[in-house]
Amino acid sequence: MKVSVLGYGTVGKGVCDMIERTPGLELGPVLVLHSERSESFMITDIDEILKDSTVGAVVEAIGGESPAGSFAERTLKAGKHFVTSNKAMVADRGIELSALARSTGKAFLFSAACGGGIPFLHNLSVARKSDDILSMSGILNGTTNYVLDMMQSKGVPLDTALSQARRLGYAEADPSADISGLDSYRKIILACAVAYGIQPEGYKDIEGIAGFTQQDAEVISRRGAEVRLIASGGLNGDGSVYAFVEPRVFFDGMERAVRKNFNSVSYTGRNSGLITYSGQGAGRYPTASAVLRDLTGIEEGTLYMLPAECVRRPAVNDMEERYLVRCEASQKDRFITEEVWSEEGGTAVFVTGPMEVSRMHSLAAELRNSGQGIFFASLGD
Amino acid sequence: MKVSVLGYGTVGKGVCDMIERTPGLELGPVLVLHSERSESFMITDIDEILKDSTVGAVVEAIGGESPAGSFAERTLKAGKHFVTSNKAMVADRGIELSALARSTGKAFLFSAACGGGIPFLHNLSVARKSDDILSMSGILNGTTNYVLDMMQSKGVPLDTALSQARRLGYAEADPSADISGLDSYRKIILACAVAYGIQPEGYKDIEGIAGFTQQDAEVISRRGAEVRLIASGGLNGDGSVYAFVEPRVFFDGMERAVRKNFNSVSYTGRNSGLITYSGQGAGRYPTASAVLRDLTGIEEGTLYMLPAECVRRPAVNDMEERYLVRCEASQKDRFITEEVWSEEGGTAVFVTGPMEVSRMHSLAAELRNSGQGIFFASLGD
């Protein structure tokens, strides 16, 4: 099968290299911007690909919602398979594009959009056919995991850790979607769409790591624990879905063993029990390897990851968690406090009783809107 | 598709339950022994299944090489798909049965034979089509992991831990293949067969946990480390394969976070990097869930895990490792010693310089043959 690639950046070049090394695949024209055109196989007009009847599949590795979304639509309408690593675009238009793909009989696959090189979405889409996926959670952003690991194992401040991550190529030039938790959230809602045919909508209850300080790291380290940024998604008892992102405190467990820029993501199947996948969540060849698995899967008839019927529904995050909270001491009474870890210099660190996830996130937003600092992390059992 | 099941024990009953709950699958006759026949869907003559043209696939959950192997052959010759969880039988006859299956156009799948509920073999068989699998290693036996965890986290002796494992249903009535490392070895050679089309033969360099004592656990714990039983397999530079099983010392890392009867297994792909899978390596529904993933895969055209060309070759385990060794002090000079941890009461605990894996295993066998005790564990980097 001849495969064209849109974009020749980090992921695009990795995909091109791998296609050239994979038996049964052949590299077609590669779309780049005028300013990037340096090789004869590069073109600057997508129509050359869409009109080329020898091209069977197109890989999109441009990133961003636009023009990637319209390129996807035009590719499918031109009767070619479409594979992408673009989580923002799939979160935005994946349901419609998958339906379009099914109507044309062509593939719409996006393994690399959640977990990078980890084959999480593929395995979810296989498992859901014979098992009930009860819940999912994981570390889905390598940049924030690297920053948290450096802050907690080396004692460096967030900004320094982030600069290191950028120097090592782990962080984007603009890492705001990583730090805010938005990138992790996009990945977990894609996992919900694959597992349940329901994509949570609303983009709420997303807490990243911007509020995490060296002092917070020290307080938690003194108790023998560490923080990781966890995206959670799953099915509520009433058939609605939940999805949220927040820091979580780990006293032990697999997540705590996830270091540097690694990702780790689990699902619990009613029959399979807990299954955890860990690996490189980003990077040229890990991400390209996920794209290539999609491409070789097409040749064996695996064309879709989303179920045939897929809808958007508001996330209902009404389960209760106990939280570790650090805020101004004067605000402590707004919480039901189970245990006070420390209270000095006008700052309190304490453990709350069980409270709704959504309530915790909205209280934190309230405090921030009134100019106060807060850090919170769920505590688990 | 109508599916018959051979055996109605732990795994067989789980598979029957799941088939009945899975859309698109229907339970056919179930083969049991005369003494076990208690339901109308149970039969005692396999010919009733083989001659039933409405049965499309057969799941074997009897265990052991015989008669499972001949049941597999007869099923495939009768033109039906064959799925098994039986690692001993697949290690023994898998290559020939997979070739037979390809000649009949029917499936031969055995996901549940390595890692129980963990979809390791399936993902290996997908990944090898576009990536080079450089190496594999993991905790592939839940019984020994449970025993090691209890010995090291609770300080109980091996026998007590093994009795607990049996009470909890983690250990077989006869756990000798678990404790000796043979069960883990069978699983890693199946993984080699899937990844490389080369199944290591010779059943050598298999060290289990029988030699591990509470004193060993204490010495290692004092250094801040823990032991896990690791099966390793991979490709040597000259195209030969290696495969061996031995205890390994972990100062940190994912393996150390694997507790109780959980399994964890990794591969390193040239492009994907290290990917780790962890979950329940045994148990009724976890194992059944792997069988069901194979069955639903058949309907989508996934019929084989072994490559079309698959051969047996001797394992070449000539890479070097540093080892922690505990043996009689008088035998210490037989090793190149890098660091002595302790030497008292006639017993020495020390770290060796790099030595060939095969050399370490044969030295240990020599000492045991002369009636002496020894424990060894590789140290990693």
3-class secondary structure per residue, chain A:
CEEEEECCCHHHHHHHHHHHHCCCCEEEEEECCHHHCCCCCEECCCHHHHCCCCEEEEEECCCCCCCHHHHHHHHHHCCCEEEECCHHHHHHHHHHHHHHHHHHCCCEECHHHCCCCCCHHHHHHHHCCCCCEEEEEEECCHHHHHHHHHHHHCCCCHHHHHHHHHHCCCCCCCCHHHHCCHHHHHHHHHHHHHHHCEEEECCCCECCCCCCCHHHHHHHHHCCCEEEEEEEEEECCCCCEEEEEEEEEECCCCHHHCCCCEEEEEEEECCCEEEEEEEECCCHHHHHHHHHHHHHHHHCCCCECCCCCCEEEECCCCCEECEEEEEEHHHHHHCCEEEEEEEECCEEEEEECCEEHHHHHHHHHHHHHCCCCEEEEECCC
Q: Which residues of chain A does B280 touch, with a Cβ-Cβ cutoff of 8 Å? A: 272-275
| CB contact (8 A) between residue A301 and residue B296 | no
Does the annotation count B187 as an active-site position?
yes
Residue of A nearest to B260 (CA): A253
pLDDT value of position A251:
94
Interstrand relation of B226-235 and B241-250 (parallel, antiparallel or unpaired)? antiparallel
Average pLDDT of the segment spanning A87-95: 97
B381 pLDDT higher than 80: no
Average pLDDT of the segment spanning B8-12: 94
Residue of A nearest to B20 (CA): A130
| CB contact (8 A) between residue B126 and residue A252 | no
Q: Which residues of chain A does B258 touch, with a Cβ-Cβ cutoff of 8 Å? A: 254
pLDDT digits (tens, 9 = 90+) for A250-303: 998 889 999 999 999 999 999 999 999 999 999 999 999 999 999 999 998 999
Question: In this structure, are residues B73 and B98 in contact, taking their beta carbons and an 8 Å threshold?
Answer: no
Query: Does B112 touch chain A if contact means CB atoms closer than 8 Å?
Result: no
Confidence of residue B67 (pLDDT cuts 50, 70, 90): very high
Question: In this structure, are residues A281 and A260 in contact, taking their beta carbons and an 8 Å threshold?
Answer: no
Mean of the per-residue pLDDT values for chain B?
Answer: 96
Task: Spell out the domains of chain B, with CATH numbers in brackets.
Answer: 2-109 (3.40.50.720), 131-280 (3.30.360.10), 320-378 (no CATH)
Tell me how close the Cα of A259 comes to any Cα of chain B, in angstroms: 9
For residue B135, which of B319, B302, B311, B307 has the smallest C-alpha distance? B319
pLDDT value of position A253:
87
pLDDT value of position B257:
92
Instruction: Give the CA distances from residue B22 to residues B11, B16, B49, B292, in Å, rounded to whole numbers and listed in that order.
Output: 16, 10, 21, 9
pLDDT value of position B36:
87
Confidence of residue A240 (pLDDT cuts 50, 70, 90): very high
Average pLDDT of the segment spanning B238-245: 97
Query: Does B238 touch chain A if contact means CB atoms closer than 8 Å?
Result: no
Average pLDDT of the segment spanning B253-258: 91
**Distance (Å, whole) CA A204 – CA A180:** 12
For residue A101, which of A119, A87, A83 has the smallest C-alpha distance? A83
| CB contact (8 A) between residue B22 and residue A129 | yes
B116 pLDDT higher than 80: yes
Query: Does A297 touch chain B if contact means CB atoms closer than 8 Å?
Result: yes
| CB contact (8 A) between residue B127 and residue A295 | no
B351: helix, strand or coil = strand
Give A 247-276 residues with CB within 8 A of chain B: 252-254, 256-258, 269-276
Tell me how close the Cα of B136 comes to any Cα of chain A, in angstroms: 14
Confidence of residue A308 (pLDDT cuts 50, 70, 90): very high
Rounded percentage of chain B residues whose pLDDT exceeds 70: 100
pLDDT value of position A171:
81
pLDDT value of position B34:
85
Interstrand relation of A133-139 and A81-84 (parallel, antiparallel or unpaired)? unpaired
- Cα–Cα–Cα angle for B7, B10, B11, nearest 5°? 65
**Amino acid making up residue B178:** D
Query: Does A341 touch chain B if contact means CB atoms closer than 8 Å?
Result: no
Segments in B197-230 forming alpha helices (H): 214-222
| CB contact (8 A) between residue B272 and residue A289 | yes
Interstrand relation of A262-269 and B273-280 (parallel, antiparallel or unpaired)? unpaired
pLDDT value of position A314:
97
B9: helix, strand or coil = coil
pLDDT digits (tens, 9 = 90+) for A4-46: 999 999 999 999 999 999 999 999 999 999 888 889 999 999 9
**Distance (Å, whole) CA A59 – CA A86:** 10
Mean of the per-residue pLDDT values for chain A?
Answer: 96
Query: Does B286 touch chain A if contact means CB atoms closer than 8 Å?
Result: yes
Asked whether the CA dihedral A181, A183, A189, A191 is positive or negative, the reply is: negative
**Distance (Å, whole) CA A139 – CA A246:** 10
Q: What is the dihedral of CA A102, A103, A105, A109, to 10 degrees?
A: -30
Tell me how close the Cα of B12 comes to any Cα of chain A, in angstroms: 14
Instruction: Give the CA distances from residue A320 to residues A356, A361, B150, in Å, rounded to whole numbers and listed in that order.
Output: 4, 12, 32
Considering just the CA atoms, what is the radius of gyration of chain B in Å? 22
pLDDT value of position B170:
82
Average pLDDT of the segment spanning B30-42: 92
pLDDT value of position A342:
94
**Distance (Å, whole) CA B37 – CA B21:** 22
Determine the longest span between alpha carbons in chain B, in angstroms: 71
Average pLDDT of the segment spanning A47-57: 98
Average pLDDT of the segment spanning B316-325: 97
Give the residues across from A233 on adjacent strands.
Answer: A136, A243
Average pLDDT of the segment spanning B205-217: 97
Question: In this structure, are residues A255 and A230 in contact, taking their beta carbons and an 8 Å threshold?
Answer: yes
Question: In this structure, are residues A136 and A232 in contact, taking their beta carbons and an 8 Å threshold?
Answer: yes
Confidence of residue A172 (pLDDT cuts 50, 70, 90): confident
Helix (H) or strand (E) holding B166: helix B158-167
Average pLDDT of the segment spanning B255-275: 96
B316 pLDDT higher than 90: yes
Confidence of residue B195 (pLDDT cuts 50, 70, 90): very high
Instruction: Give Cβ neighbours of residue B14 (< 8 Å, ≥ 6 apart).
Output: A271, B284, B285, B287, B288
Query: Does A134 touch chain B if contact means CB atoms closer than 8 Å?
Result: no
Interstrand relation of A2-6 and A55-60 (parallel, antiparallel or unpaired)? parallel
Tell me how close the Cα of A20 comes to any Cα of chain B, in angstroms: 10
Confidence of residue B242 (pLDDT cuts 50, 70, 90): very high
A381 pLDDT higher than 80: no
Question: In this structure, are residues B326 and B216 in contact, taking their beta carbons and an 8 Å threshold?
Answer: yes
Mutate to test the interface with B, among A272, A285, A289 (most CBs of B within 10 A): A272
